[in-house]
């Protein structure tokens, strides 16, 4: 028999908690316990609300450090004496004390689930086999010993694989954050009100809709050859939106200059839409999200990206150690400080 809904929560709130609790994929599954969700609320109380305002929140669920200083596993919230929390009561109080709490809660849960998942990815991403990489070594053969070239090929491919997974995860993450922050509704091809203007007028998926605006979200616009096959369909999106009675809007966090990018921007203008790229995209996102969600974006997203972007570039020494049970990176910057990142391997 399915578990009944807690009477203290509305159906919408119960559905939100269920949605925030789980992240399912083909190879990795993330499940947040009540203590984890209470910990997320603790961060929101600390950063966006008034510390101590949620009386139902146990002291053990109030973080002593900022969110990004806390390991993704949030071990301090998983101790047995802190695991039993009254989540419905905490959730209700948070909704009363923190403006736009439910949108902020869903966004921070999404960030947290993706960080937990990526920790699993780093732990389990297999090191590539040399047999499939050996042909690439012909371009470098003779510059070092065969053993050294083999190590370089495997490491380079492993870092590429991890970087590709990071790009995938952040693309999903930023799209969901943008939709939630702006109060948008995501639509698959089954529920979308946007119909194709050609052929049998099938419904086409849309990243999210806010009011009468249909958004196509991109982390970055690119001229990569892999986009050529779907570029024509992207050009049709503004026309399909206009024909369906919606204003097409492109939201691209990074714009790469090029002919196809300009063609896409022209298409949005031609069909009465709008295109926001780069800094304009972030500005539109913050201005369309309201005061509290704008604060959320600044604290949890933009501020952290800016810190990385503005990190000083200069001489750097890096040592990589690979063992059966771990990979360790030791990075020494121009200031002489050494950071060590140890990634356990399963």
Give the Cα separation of 276 and 254 in Å (integer).
10
**Residue range 72-87: mean pLDDT, rounded:** 70
- pLDDT at position 210 over 80: yes
Helix or strand or coil: residue 108?
helix
- Pairing of the two strands 213-218 and 247-252: parallel
- Of 158, 202, 217, 208, which Cα lies nearest the Cα of 185? 208
- Of 152, 198, 208, which Cα lies nearest the Cα of 178? 208
Classify residue 191 by burial, with Cβ atoms within 10 Å: 0-12, 13-18, 19+. exposed
**Residue range 178-190: mean pLDDT, rounded:** 94
Helix or strand or coil: residue 234?
helix
- pLDDT at position 213 over 70: yes
Give the Cα separation of 164 and 204 in Å (integer).
27
Sheet holding 326-332, edge to edge: 317-322, 326-332, 338-344
Give the Cα separation of 267 and 128 in Å (integer).
42
pLDDT, tens digit (0-9, with 9 covering 90-100), for 22-62:
997 767 789 999 989 999 999 999 998 888 899 999 887 88
Residue 231 banded pLDDT, cuts 50, 70, 90: confident
Nearest 5°: phi and psi at 326?
-165, 165
Residue 72 banded pLDDT, cuts 50, 70, 90: confident
- In the chain, domain spans: 11-120, 184-288
- pLDDT at position 329 over 70: yes
Q: What's the predicted TM-score (pTM) here?
A: 0.89
Residue 83 banded pLDDT, cuts 50, 70, 90: low
- pLDDT at position 328 over 90: yes
Q: Which residues contact 273 (CB under 8 A, 6 or more apart)?
A: 238, 241, 242, 247, 248, 249, 250
Q: Which two tokens stand for residue 266?
A: 């022209």
- pLDDT at position 2 over 50: no
- Pairing of the two strands 326-332 and 338-344: antiparallel
Q: Which two tokens stand for residue 30?
A: 């993330």
Site of tokens 């702006």: 182
């Amino acid at each position: 028999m399915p578990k009944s809904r807690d009477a203290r929560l509305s159906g919408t709130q119960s559905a939100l908690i269920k949605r925030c609790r789980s992240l399912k994929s083909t190879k990795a599954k993330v499940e947040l316990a009540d203590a984890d969700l209470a910990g997320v609320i603790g961060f929101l109380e600390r950063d966006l609300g008034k510390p101590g305002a949620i009386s139902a929140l146990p002291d053990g669920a109030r973080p002593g450090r900022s969110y990004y200083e806390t390991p993704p596993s949030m071990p301090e919230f998983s101790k047995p004496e802190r695991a039993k929390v009254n989540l419905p009561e905490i959730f209700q109080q948070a909704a009363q004390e923190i403006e736009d709490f439910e949108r902020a809660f869903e966004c921070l849960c999404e960030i947290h689930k993706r960080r937990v998942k990526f920790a699993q990815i780093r732990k389990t991403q297999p090191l590539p086999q040399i047999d499939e990489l050996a042909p690439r070594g012909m371009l470098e053969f003779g510059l070092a010993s065969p053993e050294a070239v083999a190590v370089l090929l495997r490491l380079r491919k492993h870092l590429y694989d991890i970087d590709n997974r990071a790009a995938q995860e952040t693309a999903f993450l930023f799209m969901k954050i943008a939709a939630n922050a702006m109060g948008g509704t995501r639509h698959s091809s089954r529920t979308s009100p946007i119909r194709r203007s050609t052929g049998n007028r099938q419904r086409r998926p849309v990243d999210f809709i806010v009011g009468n605006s249909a958004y196509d979200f991109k982390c970055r616009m690119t001229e990569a050859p892999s986009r050529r096959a779907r570029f024509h369909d992207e050009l049709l999106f503004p026309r399909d939106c206009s024909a369906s009675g919606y204003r097409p809007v492109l939201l691209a966090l990074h714009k790469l200059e090029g002919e196809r990018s300009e063609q896409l921007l022209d298409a949005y203008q031609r069909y009465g839409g709008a295109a926001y790229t780069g800094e304009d995209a972030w500005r539109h996102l913050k201005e369309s999200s309201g005061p509290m969600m704008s604060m959320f974006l600044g604290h949890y997203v933009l501020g952290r990206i800016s810190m990385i972007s503005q990190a000083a570039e200069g001489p750097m020494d890096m040592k990589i150690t690979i063992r059966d049970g771990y990979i360790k990176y030791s990075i020494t910057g121009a200031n002489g400080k050494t950071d060590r990142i140890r990634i356990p391997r399963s």
